[in-house]
Amino acid sequence: MLAVFCVRACSGLGGLRTATRVRSVHSLPGITVAQIDEEVAKLLQLKAQIGGDDGKHQFVLKTAKGTRDYNPKQMAIRERVFNTIIGCFKRHGAETIDTPVFELKETLTGKYGEDSKLIYDLKDQGGELLSLRYDLTVPFARYLAMNKITNIKRYHIAKVYRRDNPAMTRGRYREFYQCDFDIAGQYDGMIPDAECLKIVHEILSELDLGDFRIKVNDRRILDGMFAVCGVPDDKFRSICSTVDKLDKMPWEDVKKEMVNEKGLSEEAADRIGEYVSLQGGMDLAERLLQDHRMSQSKQACAGLSDIKLLFSYLQLFQVTDKVVFDLSLARGLDYYTGIIYEAVLTQAGVAPAPAEAQNGASAEESVSVGSVAGGGRYDGLVGMFDPKGRKVPCVGVSIGIERIFSIMEQKAEALAEKVRTTEVQVDISRADLIAEIRKRTSEA
């Protein structure tokens, strides 16, 4: 069997059995993917025949790295959180859809920038090349383009996959839920954007996780800021990724990375440093519209005007107490085109504080437990899938559940709360029924 196989394996690549003839393949244009697939299949079959792994090894009883099971108690808490979130999404008129857990690899290609390296690929077992979804936004955009939908409010709650460094005690997993709410379609400026922020406010309030803050910025403000600070065009993305680290690193280290690693001039970095330290509300947007440097950028001005409009809606919704315009917010994903936002819990003691807490950082930093929601506007993503490039403006928000679960679990434990996991109404294994059955059986 092995001999037959090897002859066929070698001859498969163009019917060649000798070294001389093999070498001449170089000039043969006839080798095809189908032939390679066939050879791969044969080799894998052989591998299966000779028994999987070489030698013996011990079986390890565990879940895959960065993943977890949910026991019935945890499921009960999870269901409660989902119900709150779904209730809010439905109140706001969203329908729900579902998409497969894997997509064609090329559907995900070129959507996530530097983060693409974290995508899980499926093994090539013949047929299409597939990857596990990295978020629910790209599959949503693919769904809209595929079904030519130009107007929808939808929510989608499902697991996504990232080959990231897991930090499970802090709620960072390789498999985790996202609860996404998105609005696609033409609307009056900033109305759907404000609704997304309203939703985050409603959900985090209702879940009663302690105080929180929603940071808001705009990609156009960031790009405009980079331009007026003297960042070369081709470095926008890369500098933006560095700015994104400001929630984990002090400014000095961020500046060092900009200057030493990314080759930015010290002056440009310092100018950026001034801007990214700014936080405020509508007043800050107004002030920056008058700023001698910022006002030179059309892009920045468009972003700042939208922030102003956004805050006027947020005032109406009475949520401005939690929302802050923060020029240091960058967010990693490539596809954002306008407003971006991120919600963080600020209550002390509900979850392990980050390392900075020990280094005398400000009180506010020291109690941050990290981001629990994020999102923004992505007006170009659907167009990347549409054969004619037709754009569908979209804005959305994603609630990350794992950190919220951790907090809810800790709370439940602290309260020694009895979580109900069953709703028994029929218990057909109880003793009296058995007795009844036996009685009838013996009567028969």
Contacts 24+ apart (CB under 8 A), 246-253: 246/276, 246/328, 246/330, 247/328, 247/368, 247/371, 248/354, 250/356, 251/276, 251/277
265 makes contact with its own copies (CB under 8 A): no
Q: Whose structure tokens read 């939690």?
A: 322
CA distance linking residue 380 with residue 216, whole number of Å: 20
Site mask for its own copies (CB under 8 A), range 371-410, x = bound: --------------x-x-----------------------
CA distance linking residue 250 with residue 254, whole number of Å: 7
Q: Whose structure tokens read 């085109």?
A: 337
Residues 312-371 that bind its own copies (CB under 8 A): 312-313, 316
23 makes contact with its own copies (CB under 8 A): yes
* Residue selected from 84, 217, 248, 437 as contacting its own copies according to rule CB under 8 A: 437
Judged by CB under 8 A, the stretch of 224-232, 251-259, 307-315, 332-340 that binds its own copies is 307-315
Residues 83-102 that bind its own copies (CB under 8 A): 90-102
Cβ-based nearer residue to its own copies, 205 or 277 = 205
Q: Hey, what are 331's tokens?
A: 């967010």
192 makes contact with its own copies (CB under 8 A): yes
Beta carbons within 10 angstroms of residue 193's beta carbon: 28
Tell me the closest approach of the beta carbon of residue 24 to its own copies, in angstroms: 8
CA distance linking residue 425 with residue 418, whole number of Å: 19
Q: Please check if 275 is assigned to a binding site.
A: no
Going by the DSSP 8-state scheme, the letter that residue 260 receives in this structure is: I
Site mask for its own copies (CB under 8 A), range 27-46, x = bound: -x--xxxx-xx-xx--xx-x
Total residue count of the chain as it appears in this document: 444
Q: Whose structure tokens read 């409603």?
A: 202
Tell me the closest approach of the beta carbon of residue 44 to its own copies, in angstroms: 6
Q: Please check if 293 is assigned to a binding site.
A: no
* Residue selected from 56, 64, 169, 363 as contacting its own copies according to rule CB under 8 A: 64
422 makes contact with its own copies (CB under 8 A): yes
CA distance linking residue 310 with residue 165, whole number of Å: 35
Site mask for its own copies (CB under 8 A), range 131-160, x = bound: -x---------xx-xxx-----xx----x-
Residues 96-135 that bind its own copies (CB under 8 A): 96-104, 106, 109, 117, 120-125, 127-130, 132
CA distance linking residue 276 with residue 274, whole number of Å: 6
Q: Please check if 178 is assigned to a binding site.
A: yes
Collect all residues with Cβ–Cβ distance below 8 Å to 38 and sequence separation of at least 6.
12
Known binding-site positions for L-histidine: 135-137, 162, 178, 182, 331, 335-336
